[in-house]
Amino acid sequence: MKPSVPVVRRGSALASQLGLSDRIFATAADRSLAKSIDAGLDLVEVGLLREVGFADAIADVTTRYLLNAGGKRVRPMLTLLTAHLGDGVTEDVITAAQAIEITHLASLYHDDVMDDADMRRGVPSAQAVWGNSVAILAGDLLFARASQLMAGLGEGAIRLQADTFERLVLGQLHETVGPNPEDDPVEHYINVLADKTGSLIAAAAQAGVIFSNAPRELERPIIEFGERIGVAFQLIDDVIDLSQQPEATGKVPGTDLHAGVVTLPLLRLREMALTDAGAADLLERLQQHVLGIPLPELDADPTVRAEAIARSAALVDELREHAVTTATLAEAHLWARNAVAALAPLPDGSVKKALTRFADTIVERSS
């Protein structure tokens, strides 16, 4: 059995990123909301440490592994935030936020197996440490634990969890199989993002409304916000995958491309390559040395691995600086603006302001 990584504690002032605790610009209501979210996140964190624990030794160390590696807790923060459209951070809201985050955590184990990823959150991925089978089973255990938490909240919560899980799986399936010949590749890709990422972020936002007894007419705009900001979130991830700063992202630049995962910059490059010689040349070189070509394993000859990473990094640099990546950033910002537009029916105030800032934070992040 391999040891777990040291526990990384989340900073307690996460809500301040939304600009609600700045005494110069924020109102008293904004600061009160930020304080409530931070207090709720502390409760969520305590619950996460408890709920991912198992009596079985191997189950316990594997399911805690990525939780202990850190994470921004974006989804539970969103649940706590939208709960302030109703009764605020109730016990049921805390439980739902924990279930949503555990579901997200479970999906990371499976994603890393599907993508053959070496790193996650700055540490070796679970499948790199224990192998694919154990990583998949650890993810399954976490999905089960999330379902148990939701079951305690009633039939509506069970349906929300089941519907979201179905979309997560369908998104992964459609990504794996790829578009049909008659499908538009970009449209297919956006639908995959909506299922794989948008569905869970939307569920996080929706859970805050449901379990705080907020007005039901606010549910639809909140879902639309979550779906759209989820697509924006993943499009930014497509750009972050090309980052020069693996110490910030916790991943080797181009990890998704090496795993054969299609991203929007790549799709746009393929489109451009039909009429642009420079794009066609870059695409050809990426296909020879990066796309779907795994890097040498962590335990391979260090010189061979270093040379492969350097060759890959140079090509990834070219793609990052290319116009197709600039276009991907622009599309992410468009999805974020459309997410904010969906909030029009919400009452003006601290929650709406924070959700708007949340959208800005999503597209401004670098890791």
Res 11: pLDDT: 39
pTM of the entire structure? 0.87
Tokens coding 124: 């070796």
Q: Which of 115, 26, 120 is nearest to 71 (CA)?
A: 120
Structure confidence at residue 249 (pLDDT): 52
Q: Report the distance separating Cα 231 and Cα 245, nearest Å.
A: 23
Instruction: Note the CATH architecture for domain 229-366.
Output: Orthogonal Bundle (1.10)
65: closest CA among 2, 115, 10, 113?
Answer: 2
Distance, CA of 76 to CA of 67 (rounded, Å)? 14
Closest by CA to 152, choosing from 65, 92, 63, is: 92
Q: Residues 202-212: what's their mean pLDDT?
A: 98
- Per-chain mean pLDDT for the chain: 88
For the chain, the C-alpha Rg in angstroms (whole number) is 21
Domain ranges within the chain, ordered by starting residue:
28-214, 229-366
CA dihedral 293, 297, 301, 303 (to 10 degrees): 50
pLDDT of residue 9: 40
Q: What's the pLDDT at 322? A: 96
Higher pLDDT, 227 or 307: 227
Q: Does residue 366 contact residue 23 with C-beta atoms inside 8 Å? A: no
75-100 average pLDDT score: 97
Residue 260 has a CB neighbour count (10 Å cut-off) of 16
28-214 and 229-366 have identical folds: yes
Lowest mean pLDDT among 114-128, 181-195, 258-272, 330-344: 114-128
Superfamily of domain 28-214: Farnesyl Diphosphate Synthase (1.10.600.10)
Tens digit of each residue's pLDDT (9 = 90 or more) over 101-131: 999 999 999 988 887 777 787 788 888 888 8
Residue 250 near residue 120 (C-beta atoms within 8 A): yes
